[in-house]
Chains A and B, each alone.
Chain A
Amino acid sequence: MMRLWRRHRHWLAPTLFILPGALLFGIVIILASVQTIWVSFFDWDGVGPMQWVGLANYEQLAEDPQFYVSLKNNVIWLGMFMLAPPLGLALALLLNQAIAGMKFLKSMFFVPLVLASVTVGVVFTWVYDPTFGLLSLIYGWFGATAPALLSDEHLVSFAVVIAALWPQVAFCLVLFLAGLNNLNEDLIGAGRVDGARGSAMLLHVVLPQLREVSFIALAVTVIGALRSFDMVAVMTSGGPFGSSTVLAYQMYEQSIFSYRFGYGAAIATVLFAIMAAFIAWYLRTLLRPEQETA
């Protein structure tokens, strides 16, 4: 027995090592995700028997006005989230100085990143409160009345996204600060000798070196925008009148509150398809340099 183990341990041991993690991840994450696609072809209340309905959930989805509201809001999230990388870069450029005390100030700028999204949601619900909120106070100074952002169907999504941008900008700031720290000093020096300064230096010398970091910042921002759920759930519950739902929230609501698990699964599958296209692009870009060297 011992000899058998010794002869085969060079492949048996690694197999045993990888098995627990791979099985757990495979079952709970990968298999479950695939299973959702399967569930989307059924009519199911989550408890009783499942009834095969083919593509009926998707047909219904194509005619559901709420679905288009969610889709539109996801586009708003994605579009506005694109502000996070440039804002993060701008902050990073402002903060990238080695002066006593800057280290502490920089870390204070990172704080929103580690806050729970529930915390951010609660904090911004107060900022937006039409009677007591910080916003109403500022409007008050100018003798104006603040709009009730979270109960205005046209503004609500923008208000929620602005709150969500807070930690996202902090995330991009961390990435860009790290990028600025890894700049090639020789290139910067050469640029200075050639008389490049300010924006010319930024465009032609600094930004090309930040390509990798910018790619990562863009990727985490797109993923963050498509994943948006917590802030909507905490700040508006999709309201008023479903005007701030996103796909992720509509899916949750349909499944958990309306017991339409098949329909919820169909929404999740659409979200998954959007995300999968993006993940495929990301993985290709990510794994390509290694394949070249290998």
Chain B
Amino acid sequence: MYPRPIPETNRSARAAYVTLVTAVLVLWLLPLVTVMLTSLRSFEEVMAGNYWGWPKSFNLVENYTAVFKQTALARYFANSLIITLPSVLGVLILSTLTGYVLSRHRFPGNRLVFALFVGGNFLPAQIMMIPVRDLMVGIGLYDTFFALIIFHTAFQTGFATLFMRNFIAALPDELFQAARAEGASPWQTLWHVVVPLIRPALAALAILTFTFVWNDYFWAIVLTQSDAVKPVTAGLNNLRGEWVSAWNLVAAATIMVAIPPVAMFFLMQRHFIAGLTMGAVKG
């Protein structure tokens, strides 16, 4: 291991080390922690200018109820779920199919198709903004959930294909030879050999795609307009304009927007990190 591990016997060095790391962590997360504290303050306290000190009173229930009752946050929240969940499902299905074919079937242009998926996934969103917006307006999907679901599914399939192709390519060859020897059709091979083995990859992709789509802001403001469709990221920015002085409520909304991806991350941390590093490192 590098750096050299602090020996288990050296209790005081270990304690000092953990204290140091905790101090760095507090500084590292200070901006977020203060927003959390602000989300607990009363309106009077915010008006009096106490933004960064310890809250005088804790208004957890009041503030978080208020933000759901008095603002459209609940609507935005539901919108985000309606957009994100089908996108994740779509990406998982499409990328399993593309990844399987690209890793296990030789055909002319295989490498080119793969390169297009990988390269396209790195394109800046702005390069496709005008035609995508035009397309959605043209087929009457602008300002509907479908516009965002279709776009996110398409875009995330790029990264997911890279990921799935590499994962399936790393599966033992013997399995596929055995399947071929028994005369299994491509569909049977996919369903009975590949799918049971790629569960960890599916989990990792699900959590990554969820985070990417949930956190998207650019497409939210390019493809939607009305509150009935807007996801939380765009909604939060609206709230910030409408509730300028009610910092406590905007802070509560900010925390609410952050909770789903953070919770997903902590629940499925192993998969998240494995996915991120494998997608990137094994590349």
Choice from A24, A101, A220, A268 contacting B280 with Cβ under 8 Å:
A220
Please tell me if the beta carbons of B120 and A122 are within 8 angstroms of each other in the complex: no
* Complex-state Cα separation, A248 to B102, whole angstroms: 32
A255 / chain B contacts, CB cutoff of 8 Å: 129-130
Which partner residue on chain A sits nearest B247 by CB separation?
Answer: A126
Q: Cβ of A116 < 8 Å from any Cβ of B?
A: yes
Within 8 A of B (CB), among A38-62: 39, 46
Q: Cβ of B178 < 8 Å from any Cβ of A?
A: no
Choice from A36, A93, A111, A264 contacting B128 with Cβ under 8 Å:
A36
A133 / chain B contacts, CB cutoff of 8 Å: 51
Please tell me if the beta carbons of B3 and A118 are within 8 angstroms of each other in the complex: no
Please tell me if the beta carbons of A105 and B277 are within 8 angstroms of each other in the complex: no
Of the stretches B61-69, B197-205, B212-220, the one at the interface is: B212-220
Q: Cβ of A245 < 8 Å from any Cβ of B?
A: no
Q: Cβ of A72 < 8 Å from any Cβ of B?
A: no
* Complex-state Cα separation, A116 to B129, whole angstroms: 20
Known contacts: A14-B186, A29-B120, A93-B3. The answer to whether A21 contacts B217 by CB under 8 A is no
* Complex-state Cα separation, A36 to B107, whole angstroms: 30
B190 / chain A contacts, CB cutoff of 8 Å: 17
Please tell me if the beta carbons of B222 and A256 are within 8 angstroms of each other in the complex: yes
* Complex-state Cα separation, A261 to B32, whole angstroms: 38
* Complex-state Cα separation, A95 to B254, whole angstroms: 28
Q: Cβ of A123 < 8 Å from any Cβ of B?
A: yes
Please tell me if the beta carbons of A11 and B107 are within 8 angstroms of each other in the complex: yes
* Complex-state Cα separation, A184 to B4, whole angstroms: 14
Please tell me if the beta carbons of B186 and A9 are within 8 angstroms of each other in the complex: yes
A29 / chain B contacts, CB cutoff of 8 Å: 120, 123, 128, 154-155, 158
Q: Cβ of B113 < 8 Å from any Cβ of A?
A: yes
Which partner residue on chain B sits nearest A103 by CB separation?
Answer: B269
A226 to chain B, nearest CB (A): 6
Q: Cβ of A31 < 8 Å from any Cβ of B?
A: yes
Choice from A171, A202, A216 contacting B283 with Cβ under 8 Å:
A216
Please tell me if the beta carbons of A22 and B113 are within 8 angstroms of each other in the complex: yes
* Complex-state Cα separation, A10 to B226, whole angstroms: 48
Q: Cβ of A32 < 8 Å from any Cβ of B?
A: yes
Which partner residue on chain A sits nearest B94 by CB separation?
Answer: A21
Please tell me if the beta carbons of A178 and B2 are within 8 angstroms of each other in the complex: no
* Complex-state Cα separation, A111 to B273, whole angstroms: 12
Q: Cβ of A275 < 8 Å from any Cβ of B?
A: yes
* Complex-state Cα separation, A133 to B51, whole angstroms: 8
Give the B interface residue count (CB, 8 A). 98
Please tell me if the beta carbons of A268 and B25 are within 8 angstroms of each other in the complex: no
Contact with B along A203-215 (1 / 0, CB 8 A): 0011000001100
Which partner residue on chain B sits nearest A188 by CB separation?
Answer: B2
Which partner residue on chain A sits nearest B123 by CB separation?
Answer: A33
B118 / chain A contacts, CB cutoff of 8 Å: 283, 286
Please tell me if the beta carbons of A24 and B35 are within 8 angstroms of each other in the complex: no
State the B residues within 8 Å of A (CB): 1-6, 14, 17-18, 21-22, 24-25, 28-32, 34-35, 38, 49, 51-52, 94-95, 97-98, 100-102, 105, 107, 111, 113, 115-120, 122-132, 134-135, 150-151, 153-155, 157-158, 161, 185-187, 190, 211, 214-218, 221-222, 232-234, 236-237, 240, 247, 250, 254, 257-258, 261-262, 264-266, 269, 272-273, 276-277, 280-281, 283
Q: Would you list 17 pairs from A and B whose C-beta atoms are within 8 A, ordered by A residue? A: A17-B98, A24-B154, A26-B116, A28-B151, A32-B131, A32-B132, A46-B130, A99-B6, A102-B21, A105-B18, A111-B29, A114-B261, A116-B232, A124-B31, A252-B126, A264-B129, A268-B126
State the A residues within 8 Å of B (CB): 9-11, 13-14, 17-18, 20-22, 24-33, 35-36, 39, 46, 93-99, 101-102, 105, 107-112, 114-119, 122-124, 126-127, 132-134, 137, 166, 171, 174-175, 178-180, 183, 185, 188, 192, 201-202, 205-206, 212-213, 216, 220, 223, 226-227, 229-230, 233-234, 247-248, 251-252, 255-256, 261, 264-265, 267-269, 271-272, 275, 279, 282-283, 286-287
Known: A174-B276, A179-B281, A268-B127. 7 other contacts (CB 8 A): A10-B186, A14-B101, A17-B101, A21-B157, A28-B155, A29-B128, A123-B254
